[in-house]
Amino acid sequence: MIKENFSNIKLTSARKSILDILINSSKPLSYEDIKDKISMDKATFYRNITIFEEGNIINSFESNDKKRYFEIKRVAHSHFICSSCSKIECIHKEIEMKLDNHQIDTIIIKGLCCDCLNN
């Protein structure tokens, strides 16, 4: 799915670096998570992220901590964000939600994760 979206995007070394990190991650990552792994200024990072979003290669969403998180667009899934510790978990169970005359792109569920619930 990722390769077919690259027909109009030149794969520079900066873009390849970002994609490699996102592809190899099991969870969504913020700029702060990624910046320690690559040498790239913030403007270059976000310019490339915008290209990936417009090319339908990645998803992004904002968490409780007001940070934007990014992940490779794979199988559609939802996210659980802990209201207490801001931990993000991918939910791969199907959640069916339909609204007439609407297209749902993202479902984010907020609540307490099992660690915070037990504390």
In a domain, 109, yes or no: yes
Which pLDDT belongs to residue 5? 60
Number of domains in the chain: 1
Other residues' Cβ atoms within 10 Å of the Cβ of residue 44: 14
In a domain, 27, yes or no: yes
pLDDT digits (tens, 9 = 90+) for 32-71: 999 989 989 999 999 999 999 998 899 999 988 889 999 9
Q: What is the CATH number of the domain that holds 56?
A: 1.10.10.10
Indicate the pLDDT class of residue 1, thresholds 50, 70 and 90.
Answer: very low
Which pLDDT belongs to residue 2? 54
In a domain, 3, yes or no: no
pLDDT digits (tens, 9 = 90+) for 86-113: 999 988 887 777 788 888 777 889 999 9
DSSP type of residue 2: T
In a domain, 33, yes or no: yes
In a domain, 6, yes or no: no
What's the domain range around 81? Answer: 11-116
Binding residues for Zn(2+): 82, 85
DSSP type of residue 118: T
In a domain, 1, yes or no: no
- Order of strands across the sheet that contains 108-111: 88-91, 78-82, 108-111
In a domain, 48, yes or no: yes
Which pLDDT belongs to residue 7? 65
In a domain, 62, yes or no: yes
82 in Cβ contact with 114 (< 8 Å): no
17 in Cβ contact with 40 (< 8 Å): yes
Q: What is the pTM of this model?
A: 0.80
Binding residues: 82, 85, 96
Indicate the pLDDT class of residue 16, thresholds 50, 70 and 90.
Answer: very high
Cite the DSSP H helix spans in the chain: 13-23, 31-35, 42-54, 114-117
Binding residues for Fe cation: 96
